[in-house]
Amino acid sequence: MPELPEVETVRRGLLPVMEGQDIASAQVRRPDLRWPFPPRMAERLSGQHVVRLRRRSKYILADLGSGETLILHLGMSGRILISGQMQGRFHHHHPAPEKHDHVVLDMVNGARVTFNDARRFGAMDLAPTETVEDHPLLAGLGPEPFGNAFHEDYLVARLRGRNTPIKAALLDQRVVAGLGNIYVSEALFRAGISPRRKAGRIAAPRVRALVPIIRDVLSEAIEAGGSSLRDHRQTNGELGYFQHAFRVYDREGHACPTPGCTGTIARIVQSGRSSFYCPSCQR
């Protein structure tokens, strides 16, 4: 499932063709994805001005002139592609509709924004902008990793006394929003913390050090266009490249990249998810 860097990469790709622009018409080609679409979604989107395009956790939010916000979640296989608009050096003409093109937005500026989702685990909804943070998909989310509310003292307080492994604690969206399996594994490696260690038993200085490390990992991934393991594509159809910089994720059996460490990257399963780490230098 796309994590924060992949969603932020998609949002940035959409900015020049959507933010401050008008939706000429919307096509909704099926009644649902993971859940049913809101009533009259095509009608409610057509003709609307996109005031702002933002991200909350792993969701893209498009604030509309109507006072509603379009909430978009990519799910496991969702992709957003732009056609009919210059993307760098390339001009993408409108392609023929594909089987899994479920929602299409034709913009007044000539761009077409297509949401393609083969597995249909994605989601779209419309909610009043004024109260969108109370939407069931967004309510209860923790602070953004790049926001002022996510700081060293906050993380120390949230992890204090927790008996769950640190990997599970950081994946808890109520603790910090947007982190997923890949980037937690990478952050814990850089911090030298084992994913097995109980969150409440990690010394405060080590917890404090996690905050800038998490931000660094996410920033590097965003600059690389995210990680393309299966379905993720940027809005111009290109792959992300951060997977080439993985130090531990999906590198089971490889030598630890830490200078002087003779350990080997191991894989364990925690709560049904793979964790990758070096047993020698992550304690």
Q: How far apart are alpha carbons 147 and 82 in whole angstroms?
A: 29
Computed on alpha carbons and rounded to an integer, the radius of gyration of the chain in Å comes to 20
Is 19 a residue of the active site? Answer: no
Whether 112 is catalytic is no
Based on the residue annotation, tell me whether 223 is a catalytic residue of this protein. no
Measured CA to CA, the distance from residue 261 to residue 283 in angstroms comes to 13
- Round to whole Å and give the CA distance between 218 and 117: 25
* Of 2, 145, 165, 195, catalytic: 2
Residue of 52, 196, 267, 273 with catalytic role: 273
15 CB-contact burial (10 Å; exposed 0-12 / middle 13-18 / buried 19+) = middle
Residue 153 contacts by C-beta under 8 Å, 6 or more apart in sequence? Answer: none
Indicate which residue of 56, 58, 158, 251 is catalytic. Answer: 58
Residue 5 among the catalytic residues: no
Task: Classify the C-alpha dihedral 251-279-273-136 as positive or negative.
Answer: negative
Joined together, the tokens standing for residue 99 give: 């089987």
Enzyme catalytic residues: 2-3, 58, 273
